[in-house]
Amino acid sequence: MSDKKIGNKKIDRRSLLKFLGVAGAAAGASVMVPNSVISESKKMMFAKAEGGEEKGRQSYEVKPGEYDDYYGFWSGGHSGELRVLGIPSMRELKRIPVFNIDCGSGWGITNESKKLLKGLTVGDTHHVHGSYKDGTYDGKYLFVNDKINARIARVRIDYMETDAMIDIPNAQGLHGTFPQRYPKTEWLVTNTEFQIPVPNNPGAPQNEYYGLHTIVDAEKMAVVCQIMVEENLDLAATDYQGKYSMSTSYNSEQGVTISEMLAADHDYLLVFNWERIREALRKNNYKMINGVKVIDGRRGKSDIVLRIPVPKNPHGVNVSPDGKYAVCSGKVSPTCSVVEIAKIDQAFAGKIKPEECVVAQPEIGLGPLHTTFDGRGNAITSVFIDSTNVKWDLERAIKGEKKPIVDVLDVHYQVGHIMATMAETKEADGRWLISLNKMSKDRFINVGPLKPECEQLVDISGEKLRIVHDGTTYIEPHDCIMVRRDVIEPKVKHRYDMFEHPLAVTKSGVERKGKDVTVSLTANAPVYGLQEVKLKKGDRVTVIVTNHDEISDLTHGFALTNYNINFIVSPFQTKSVTFTADKPGVYWAYCTNFCHALHLEMRMRFIVEA
C-alpha cells in the first residue's frame, strides 16, 4: 500500500481514506494533498442531490415515497438467493429465495418449494440474467445458476418467485450462464468450470476429463444438448444475432493441479456455432450420456467450436451493445482482447485464422476481470489487483492506441464483477454502474471476524467516473443486472391469480383418508377458516392455506409451534406443507405477519391425541 502526505505527515492509503472521508482518493506515488483538494474531493464524491452537485451530473437521491429508476437483480452468492434492489437508492426491496431455505417466506419448508429443491438446501448463486426479445430485456424471466450443485433456476418476474429448477447432468462447477438475446430467449447456455470424466467414471484417466457447454430450453427448462470440450469453461455470453454463444476458458492442458493447468502459454475464447449445433442434432451426431445428447466439440473432432487464442487465464467475456465486439478480459494479463464478431463469421468459413478475430489488446491494468459498457462507445473494466474501474474507448483501442484510457476510478477493494445500467442489452444508457468489491478492509465498524463486503454505486453519466454510494453487502453477491423500471414494473402483479394453484382453498375443512389428513384453510384478517383441528398421533397431515384478503400488501403467515413449520401467503396465494403429527398435545398455529388490530388473536389449535 503506497504512502501519501498530508501537510508534512506521511500516512498510508487506508488512513488517508479515513482522513478524507471519501472513496476516491488517488493511488500511486507520494503526493501533497492540500485542504482545497480535500474539499473538492468531498464535493465530487458525495455531492447531494440538492445543491453542490457538479454541473451536468444526475441526481442519485430518491426521496421518501419516490420510486427508483431501475430494478437491480443481484445474485446472493453463498446465501443461494437473489436480491432485488432499487437503483440509484440502493434500497433492498426483496430477497428471492432460490437454492436456500428461507424461514421468512417458507421457501424450503412448503411442499411447492421442496418439490423444486429435491432435498438440496445449499446453493451458490453466481450469474443472474434476464430473458430477452430483440436484444433487450422482455421482463418475463430471470435465470440464475447454482455453482455448487450444477442447477439452473428460473424466476418469474410477474411474481418475483422461483418457478422452475433443473439439474444439469455431467456437470460440476456450473459457472457462466447467459440467455439468447435474439430474436428472443429460446436457449440458455451454461458452462462447467470443473472438468470431470464424461460419464463420471472414477477410474478414467486424466486426459478423459472434459468441460461442457450446456444448452437449455428456456421455456421447457430442459437440457437440449451439451458440447464436450477439453477446456475448463468460465464466463459465457451470446451475440446479438442468435448465431453464437461464447465462453472464456482455461486449462486446455486438462490438468488437475495448478502447475499442470499453467503449462501452456495461452488459453482460448471458445465460440459455439448454433447452426452447426442444430445440424449435429438433426443428423444424430451425438452420444446419449446420462440421458443427455452430448456433441463432441474437441479439437479436430468437429467444426462446431472456434478457438480464438487469448492471453493465459481469461475471465469475463462481454459483448458491446452495438453487437460488434466481444471483450475478453485477461485476469493474469494486463490486457483485454477485443474480438470483432464479424470476423468470427469469416473464421468459421475458413477465410481467416481464429487469431485474426482479435482486433485489439489494450493495456488496462493489473488483473482485468469484467467489462461493461456505457452505450457511448466506452468500455469500463474491473481491475482486481489495482482495485480500479477503468473506462476506455473501444474505437481508440481498435485503432491501435496501446492505452486508450479515458478515466480510472479507485474502488475499495479488489473489485470483481461490475455492471452498468442496461449494459447487457442494445439499450445501454450509461447512467449508473455498480462495483461489487470482494473486500472492505477497515472501511466499516467492526462486526467480528467475518467482515462485510463493499459495493459502490458509480455515476457514469459524465466523462469522469464518480462514486456516489458506498455500502456493505453480505457474503459474495457475485453479479447483477440493472433494468429500467418501465421494463419490469408493468409486468409485476400486485397479487396472485388465486386459481393458478391447483389446491386453492375456497372453503375451509378437514378431510381424512385413513392416516392421511388434509386441512384446508382460508385466511382473512384476523381469522383462519378453522379454529381447531383434531389429529391422531401418527397422522400424515397436509395443511393448505389460501389468503383471501385482496389488499395488495396484506400478507398472512402460518407457523405451527414445535413442528418446524413457518411460511407466508400473499393475497390470493396458496401454499401447502406436509408433516407427521408425532407429538401428542396442544399446538398453536398463528399468523406471523401483522395483518390487523387483532393480529395477535389470529390463531388456531391443533390437538394431537395419543
To the question of pTM greater than 0.85 for the whole model, the response is yes
Give the tens place of pLDDT for each residue, 282-303: 999 999 999 999 999 999 999 9
How large is the average pLDDT for residues 420-443?
A: 96
Give the integer Cα–Cα distance in Å for 215 and 168.
Answer: 10
d(C-alpha 299, C-alpha 483), whole Å: 39
Q: Is the dihedral of CA 490, 494, 499, 503 positive or negative?
A: positive
Helix (H, G, I), strand (E, B) or coil at 272: strand
**What average pLDDT score do residues 453-479 get?**
94
Mean pLDDT (whole number) for 69-97: 97
Q: Which listed CATH number (2.60.40.420, 3.40.190.10, 3.40.605.10, 3.30.300.20) goes with 498-609?
A: 2.60.40.420
Average pLDDT over residues 304-309: 98
Grade residue 260 by pLDDT with cuts at 50, 70 and 90.
confident
Q: What percent of the chain has pLDDT over 90?
A: 85
Question: Where are the strands (E) in 311-357, listed by range?
Answer: 317-319, 325-329, 336-340
CB < 8 Å & 24+ apart, contacts of 84-90: 84/160, 85/480, 86/62, 87/421, 87/432, 87/434, 87/457, 87/482, 88/60, 88/62, 88/432, 88/457, 88/468, 88/469, 89/60, 89/61, 89/62, 90/455, 90/457, 90/469, 90/471
Count, residues in the chain: 610
- What average pLDDT does range 471-476 have in this prediction? 90
Q: How far is CA 437 from CA 385, 399, 413, 422, 473, in A?
A: 11, 32, 5, 20, 9
Domain covering 70-491 in this structure, CATH number: 2.130.10.10
Residue 55 near residue 29, CB atoms below 8 Å: no
Task: Convert the pLDDT of each residue in 312-339 to its tens digit.
Answer: 989 999 999 999 999 999 888 999 999 9
Residue 495's φ and ψ, nearest 5 degrees, are -150, 170
438: number of Cβ within 10 Å = 15
- Between 37 and 529, name the one with better pLDDT: 529
| pLDDT tens readout for residues 5-17 | 434 444 443 343 3
pLDDT score of 131 more than 70: yes
What's the chain's average pLDDT? Answer: 90
Confidence of residue 56 (pLDDT cuts 50, 70, 90): low
Asked if residue 317 lies in contact with residue 245, where contact means CB atoms within 8 angstroms, the answer is no
CB 460 within 8 A of CB 434: no
Name which of 484, 256, 463 is nearest 377 in CA terms.
Answer: 463
Identify the pLDDT of residue 351: 98
In the chain, where the domains are located: 1-32, 70-491, 498-609
User: Residue 241 class from Cβ within 10 Å (0-12 exposed, 13-18 middle, 19+ buried)?
Assistant: middle
Q: What was the pLDDT predicted at 7?
A: 40
Residue 248 pLDDT greater than 80, yes or no: yes
Compute φ and ψ for 123, nearest 5 degrees: -155, 170
Q: Which of 44-48, 72-76, 140-144, 499-503 has the lowest mean pLDDT?
A: 44-48
Q: Across the strands, what pairs with 409?
A: 389
Lowest-confidence range among 249-253, 301-305, 416-420? 249-253
